[in-house]
Amino acid sequence: MAEFAHRVGIDGPVRAVPSTAIGTFNASLLDVTNAFTLFGNGGVRAEPHLIRRIERWDGRVLWRKEPGGGTRVLDEATAFVVLDAMRAVVDRGTAASVRRHGYAGAAAGKTGTTNDGTDAWFVGLTPELVAGVWIGFDRPRPIVGDGDAGGGELAAPAWAAWMASVRPGTPRRTGWTPPLTVERVRYHETQGHVIGMHCAVERGSP
């Protein structure tokens, strides 16, 4: 797990212990947001960059960051299945506040909250953009008095407001196209097995 974390772009120290799988290590907002690019990019992680181009005084471009490139970390099918699960986080999970605050476009993401309530996270993506929000203090202390501060209540609404400002108008809701290797089936909610089209209790999943 520690090796995989470094492959997705986590630069800081990651301990090779079982709890690493549930996120018990520190990572910067830039690293985590960068890691999420691979889910919307078919398993390919893009390297972040600060400079798009350098121009002369007369507008002639001296250097431009060329598009493309990146490092394949996951196969396309695995990346899509994880992405689809994170769409449910926004539509009916811990980040449902994204919808309540008016962002109606296709979106997926993951909330995060430290046990002591000192950090609230949300990293989300649309078919065009990925963005991360962290809320906390420079010197860690509970964000609210009782420590009850979650990424879904604080960071996700901020993400929704920012995304609406950079994607004005009506964002597309169609979302991402699954790769040919992924098939969407229906399964029984209580029994957990794939079912036919005539069962009344069913849910779709890739």
E strand map for the chain: 44-45, 53-55, 61-64, 71-72, 108-113, 119-125, 130-136, 185-187, 203-205
Looking at the predicted structure, is the pLDDT value of residue 60 above 90?
yes
Which three-class secondary structure state does DSSP give residue 108?
A: strand
Question: May I ask the CATH class of domain 2-175?
Answer: alpha beta
pLDDT, mean of residues 110-139: 91
Looking at the predicted structure, is the pLDDT value of residue 13 above 70?
yes
pLDDT for 109: 96
All structural domains of the chain with their residue ranges: 2-175, 176-206
List, for residues 72-103, the tens digit of each pLDDT value: 999 999 999 999 999 999 999 999 999 999 89
Residues counted in the chain: 206
21 pLDDT band, cuts 50/70/90, is confident
Share of the chain above pLDDT 90, in %: 45
